[in-house]
Chain A
């Protein structure tokens, strides 16, 4: 069987030698931090205008992660491209000829890219948190406060998992364009809209992004949002189940289909 460290090294070389890695990950960082900072500054200026319920459930940690809604899209692009370009370039045939063991190939790729996304996610999460709190001024919180560290680490986990989920979807669909065409509108529009529509809410709260993002809330039902029937860790587990399903689905497609 193929040597796993060798395949990991190879996948790392693949990732670091294409420019899409750099620009997607830098975008994820910049967009999340910039949008989070902007919202924190706005909140700080307009805190007095919030209604009573919003003020009572004000979650300075969650507010500083507002940028994730856009930033996660860059993570989706990163995840999709890591797997999808193998297919669009035809490299997949060369890659599988070199590493014919499908599990070793796919899981090594996902591990390398997933760890990278996690590291970038954690950096993004901590930077956006501290910058956000500084801009929130008196309304901010402290990393030492209850559950705050969990939420900040959770933000990094969330970004890493979004990337791995996207890799699984791209492996199932075997196309970057198709994967992006489905995932981008889903995370940016469908999930956001459905979670605001009464009735659809009940389903939408089990979507990977809706469930997973609960880990970033410190105050339950932050900003007067609808209460979820699960806690932050259970929410992350729901997201993890989605990720596992996508990864297994991607593996089965790779195993069964002709390259």
Chain B
């Protein structure tokens, strides 16, 4: 179990991590989600005592990282794939780590086998592809057979096979009762692997919720209507007490109604419909909406089809009238 208490990091007058408090529990995969520059890597570096917090603390099973005598046996981390000496072989890179924590040498061969690098164990790691480097980093995290594992953006640069492998690895490790903490800026990735979600934006905690709750609250379903008789359709809907919201491309969106009801309603009033479709907002949109106010680096041109309107603050399954304009097919 990892406890973050009021963790804060300032670089000059820029706040990278702001009063972050949360608990990462064992036996599940906790996703650490946030846009680029949200402070995920800084937080993870502070958890490993690589960066000194400006204030606040991190406790690992009640202890500060520096108090762990052989930390690789408690917590294994993949921070960035290239954090190894390129002139040293994969085997020797792991061997010197193992020796420093009195981990038996046979573990080196074991973890290389686990990550599928046995064939290149004696090769210098500077010749490794990004994916191989990532696997070597994961091997170093697994070396001490730790109860806690941290992965910073583990799927970055991996091919589909590698991504699939990492997902399964994390699930297997969590099912063994370990604490898995994995960061990503991709909601879709988290939806597949995480049991619990911690969302941050500009260093602040935006959400700390189970994945099931997040899906329940955010996978909004609605009906999209398009008609050449837009004004009449609106009036009719209004008369029937149905709340319709105008969306991009001259369409109307209706929450909490079925296509059957709306289709029959339009037919009764002889309104021509060009589109009548059930839509489901993706989790990615829910995440983007949540973090829109705190995205560090906005693109200058708005993406085609209309970006989600920037909400005042975190839209936590609350105001359903503000919604993304381009829902995906359910």
Listed in ascending order, the chain A residues whose CB lies under 8 Å from chain B are 1-3, 6-7, 9-11, 13-14, 17-20, 85-86, 89-101, 256, 258-259
Contacts and interface: CB of A to CB of B under 8 A. Distances in A.
Interface residues of B, number: 34
Contact of A18 (B52, B72, B82, B85): B85
A10 B86 contact: no
B188 interface: no
A91 B99 contact: no
A98 B68 CA distance: 10
Given A18-B85, A91-B85, A98-B71, 12 more contacts: A11-B100, A14-B96, A17-B88, A85-B87, A89-B85, A90-B82, A90-B84, A94-B79, A94-B83, A98-B97, A98-B100, A98-B101
A100 B45 contact: no
Contact of B80 (A2, A13, A90): A90
A93 B65 CA distance: 14
B102 A85 contact: no
Contacts, number: 99
B87 A13 contact: no
Main secondary structure of the interface of B (DSSP, over half): loop
A100 B65 contact: yes
A107 B122 CA distance: 29
Nearest to B125: A89
Interface in B49-106: 49-52, 65-66, 68-72, 77, 79-80, 82-89, 92-93, 95-97, 99-102
B2 interface: no
A97 B77 contact: yes
Contacts of B52: 256, 258
The DSSP consensus for interface residues of chain A is: helix
A2 to B, nearest CB: 6
User: A7, A85, A98: which has the most chain B beta carbons within 10 Å?
Assistant: A98
B140 interface: yes
B148 to A, nearest CB: 12
A10 B100 contact: yes
A259 B96 contact: no
A35 B282 CA distance: 73
Contacts of A256: 52
Given A18-B88, A100-B65, A91 B50 contact: no
Nearest to B89: A17
A99 B48 CA distance: 11
A205 to B, nearest CB: 39
B66 A100 contact: yes
Contact of A97 (B50, B85, B99): B50
B100 A94 contact: no
Contacts of A2: 69-70, 100-101
A101 B93 CA distance: 20
Given A90-B80, A97-B48, A259-B50, A14 B85 contact: yes
Nearest to B92: A17
A100 B97 CA distance: 12
B100 A6 contact: yes
A97 B46 CA distance: 11
Given A3-B102, A6-B102, A97-B50, A258 B96 contact: no
A6 B101 contact: yes
Interface string B146-167: 0000000000000000000000
Contacts of A19: 87
B296 to A, nearest CB: 19
